[in-house]
């Protein structure tokens, strides 16, 4: 079964100093996939008012000259990426886990929002501020939120949920379900009935797959 590198649980030792206080970080949560699915709120989805422009994406949040797309390409390349000035990524080695294809040129890759922007809107993001939608669309805080995959598979997926689309590579589906559930829990997004049933069915064949997520702030 294909697995992506999991975010490790961080062990933090807090020194208690007099007259000083710190805001505790959000704890990383870890649940078996089947249990994690049960944590997702169930709701009817609505796409009313959705526009892709409601989610400003591929920004340079840390102002290092690299857009979110470039940051993902650099992070996910299996060899050091070749990067020109102005953070133009020219080459590397990327494994598209949706279909098991390896590419060395970034032109054939899309950066997929594991939970598509339209799906996020449907399941809760319509009530967010513009700033939170921008943070969602450029989420580099979790390796499960954004993934470099072949443009072909990303475009076949479009804005569909797991009841409507799954990766063509069967061995990728448990990883995909885990990524999907992790992202929805991280951002407090709901699922509809068909989506929940599809995820539950997937989980039955996924053994000990674990969902790890840190709630987005």
Reported as a single tens digit per residue, the pLDDT across 101-125 is 999 999 999 999 999 999 999 999 9
Angular region, 174: left φ>0, alpha ψ -120 to 50, beta rest: alpha
Beta strands in the chain (DSSP E): 29-32, 82-84, 88-91, 94-96, 101-103, 109-113, 146-150, 210-213
Yes or no: say if 89 and 74 are a contact pair by the CB < 8 Å rule: yes
Q: pLDDT tens digits for 52-90?
A: 999 999 999 999 999 999 999 999 999 999 999 999 999
Name the band, by pLDDT with cuts 50, 70 and 90, for residue 26. Answer: low
Phi, psi of 111 (to 5 degrees): -95, 110
pTM exceeds 0.85 for this model: yes
d(C-alpha 143, C-alpha 102), whole Å: 19
The distance from CA 166 to its chain's CA centroid, rounded to whole angstroms, is: 15
């Amino acid at each position: 079964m294909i697995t992506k590198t999991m975010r490790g649980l961080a062990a933090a030792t807090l020194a208690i100093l007099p007259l000083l206080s710190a805001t505790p970080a959000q704890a990383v949560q870890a649940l078996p996939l089947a249990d994690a699915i049960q944590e997702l709120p169930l709701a009817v989805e609505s796409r009313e008012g959705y526009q892709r422009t409601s989610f400003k994406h591929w920004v340079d949040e840390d102002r290092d000259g690299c857009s979110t797309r470039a940051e993902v390409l650099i992070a996910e390349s299996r060899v050091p990426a070749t990067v020109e000035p102005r953070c133009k990524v020219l080459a590397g080695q990327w494994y598209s886990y949706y279909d098991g294809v390896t590419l060395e040129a970034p032109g054939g890759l899309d950066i997929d929002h594991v939970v598509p922007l339209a799906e996020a809107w449907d399941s809760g993001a319509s009530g967010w501020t513009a700033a939170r939608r921008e943070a969602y669309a450029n989420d580099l805080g979790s390796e499960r939120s954004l993934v470099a995959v072949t443009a072909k598979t990303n475009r076949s997926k479009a804005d569909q949920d797991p009841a409507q689309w799954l990766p063509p590579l069967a061995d990728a589906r448990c990883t995909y379900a885990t990524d999907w559930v992790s992202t929805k829990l991280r951002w407090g997004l709901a699922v509809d009935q068909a989506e929940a049933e599809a995820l539950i069915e997937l989980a039955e064949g996924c053994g000990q797959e674990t969902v790890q997520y840190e709630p987005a702030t």
